[in-house]
Structure 1
Amino acid sequence: MWASLMLPLTTDDTVDFGRLRQQVETLLTAGLDGVYAHGTAGEFQTLSEAEFDQINELLAGACEAARVPFQLGASHPSAQLSLDRVRRAAALSPSAIQVILPDWLPLNEQEVVAFLTGVATAADGVPLVLYNPPHAKTQVGPEFLVEVARAVPTLVGLKSAGGDEAWFGRALESGLSLFVPGHHLASMTRLGAHGSYSNVAALSPAGAVRWSEQIFADPDAALDLERRIGEFFAEYVVPLQSAGLSNPALDKFLAEVGGWAEVGTRVRWPMEFAKQEQVEAARPAARRLLPELFQSSW
């Protein structure tokens, strides 16, 4: 169970590093398997290179002091700028580096292997995780994933939407760790998923940890909680998504509903974000439907 950093922003879109530091400190006490920066929820595509480096140094220093594993996203729509980010991230010795495939034009299979091979060289031995969400222009299916894993030995994980039993049966042949959406973790663990870079952790980091433990200790109860998480998402998250809010805006909405850190709902211009009244409407429903996520112990 891994949680993402989210950017606390001021009204002029500046990163509030004081609030970011407090967010890191809270995550480090939640019992998570690790913390990562620069995924979709971290709005990586909006960062200047100076902001990217400053966030990396903050997270790496805090995690090393607390002895909590951390991963760094080094993604960029440009392959060339992504390589630069990979080199700088690798210097901080993270547990792994997450990357997307270059995103302006789709890649053919030879180009996918060439890109990941180049990234592996730039990472200088640091393991890689491929982030391949449904909206990526280049989709790596389970059959091709087996070939990619064979061609790039330091690729150790895949972050994706997962799939059905047949998808997992083939994807598991790659030998990679398969990370799936947080709100499907209980059901997809039964199919072979290994963990999640979790949107449920955006709602409640400590609660998500308890749920991940329950998945093995009491799988039927964990599936029931997943069902209720789905009910909450259907009523309060899907309408925002249907209205056009981006995934970073939805993750920040969840964090504000959870109230565990001063993240704020604002995402960087020109993207829209949830209104405070929408947060206030969802808070009592979250605690009514999902009390396990908000209590101090089971």
Structure 2
Amino acid sequence: MQPLTPQTLRGIWSPTLLPLAADDAIDFDRLEQSLAAVLRSGVHGVYTNGTAGEFHTLSEQEYDRLHELVAGMAAAAGVPYQLGASHPAGRVSLERVRRAAGLEPGAIQVVLPDWLPLHDDEAVAALRGFAGAAGGVPLVLYNPPYAKTQATPALLARIAEDVPEVVGLKLPSVEPAAGLTERFSVFVAGHALATGYRAGAAGSYSNVSCMSPAGAVRWYDRMAADPRGAAEVEVRMRGFLDRHVAPLAAAGYSDPALDKLLCAVGGWSRTGTRVRWPHRWIPQEDVPALREAALAAVPDLLTDPVTAPG
């Protein structure tokens, strides 16, 4: 596909969640069904190997099979796709970048090597190495709040100057990239997108799309057409998350477990709530009550067709 640019990387991008069997193996049949539903939903793109995709658990064989499936299905559907080459170990990530580039994605997502915090010089060197391995495919820097090396305004300014191959950023908020939203496409957390959009965010790698891909797209469209109404949806979505999901996070459930819970609450996919060892997951029997709470809070997001949960 055409390489993405800071001007064309926009909108709602849906993660690729991993349906898991009881032995922790990826159920590729269910994955294909869920991906087909996402590709029909109207999202602006799909991506692999973010936190929600449990990238840190994949073997290299699983990584390659997943990417061949996503690249093939997305290309056939005419939907843009990004491939994540992230790994806590920089050398492993470097090899993943090379292999991902061969599938011609619009961009490759990377995290900074994670075992030790990096000096700004080292962070820039890592991104230069990834850019060289990508062979002309643009990069997106994925920098969640729990990353050991945080993308400060000073570091982002250096990246803007020294690594032109980086076209996009995933940040907790727009503030670290203030003044750089023309140089980078800045993506923020899905549930905060209406606020971020007003501050210059281009889109989200979206937890809201975990719950409802089509609903997240409708909400994004509303941000331009009806900013006040879109902001009111955000207030209600944040309220649902604060009341029903934040306590689970406080109890120690991981972000992938929470994203899969939102997917189960949305009811559009048979992905299920199971996450990979050694992490815990929210029992499927907890989902119906949470779905009722979500329908009460944000019914305008939850109008996608419902399938039987996996």
2:284 aligned partner: 276
Distance in 1 (alpha carbons) for counterparts of 2:219 and 2:124: 36
- Normalized per residue, which structure has more helix? 1
Residue 157 of structure 1, CA deviation: 0.4
Distance in 2 (alpha carbons) for counterparts of 1:34 and 1:244: 30
1:206 paired to 2:209: no
Distance in 1 (alpha carbons) for counterparts of 2:243 and 2:33: 30
1:233 paired to 2:244: no
3-state secondary structure, aligned to 2:181: helix
1:95 paired to 2:106: yes
2:9 aligned partner: none
For normalisation by structure 1, the TM-score amounts to 0.96
1:49 aligned partner: 60
2:188 aligned partner: 180
Distance in 2 (alpha carbons) for counterparts of 1:278 and 1:241: 15
3-state secondary structure, aligned to 1:114: helix
1:288 aligned partner: 296
1:193 paired to 2:204: no
Contact 1:101 1:138 in 2 (8 A): yes
Distance in 1 (alpha carbons) for counterparts of 2:144 and 2:181: 17
1:18 aligned partner: 29
1:255 aligned partner: 263
3-state secondary structure, aligned to 1:196: strand
Q: Report 1:60-139 matches (<5 A).
A: 60-139=71-150
Residue 112 of structure 1, CA deviation: 0.5
3-state secondary structure, aligned to 2:300: helix
**Amino acid aligned to 1:169:** A
Distance in 2 (alpha carbons) for counterparts of 1:132 and 1:271: 22
2:3 aligned partner: none
Q: Report 1:144-155 matches (<5 A).
A: 144-155=155-166
Distance in 2 (alpha carbons) for counterparts of 1:22 and 1:80: 33
Which structure 1 residue ranges, 4+ long, deviate > 2 Å from structure 2?
167-173
Q: Structure 2 stretches of 5 or more lacking a match?
A: 1-11, 305-310
Q: 1:41-72: CA deviations, max 9, x gaps?
A: 00000000000000000000001101100000
Contact 1:168 1:192 in 2 (8 A): no
Q: Report 1:164-179 matches (<5 A).
A: 164=175, 167-172=176-181, 175-179=183-187
Residue 163 of structure 1, CA deviation: 4.5
1:220 paired to 2:228: yes
Distance in 2 (alpha carbons) for counterparts of 1:202 and 1:142: 30
Distance in 2 (alpha carbons) for counterparts of 1:153 and 1:32: 27
Residue 169 of structure 1, CA deviation: 2.6
Q: 1:141-163: CA deviations, max 9, x gaps?
A: 12320111211111000001015
**Amino acid aligned to 2:150:** Q
Distance in 1 (alpha carbons) for counterparts of 2:303 and 2:58: 35
2:4 aligned partner: none
Residue 109 of structure 1, CA deviation: 0.8
1:27 paired to 2:27: no
Q: 1:221-252: CA deviations, max 9, x gaps?
A: 00000000011001111011000000000000
Contact 2:174 2:186 in 1 (8 A): no
Contact 1:45 1:77 in 2 (8 A): yes
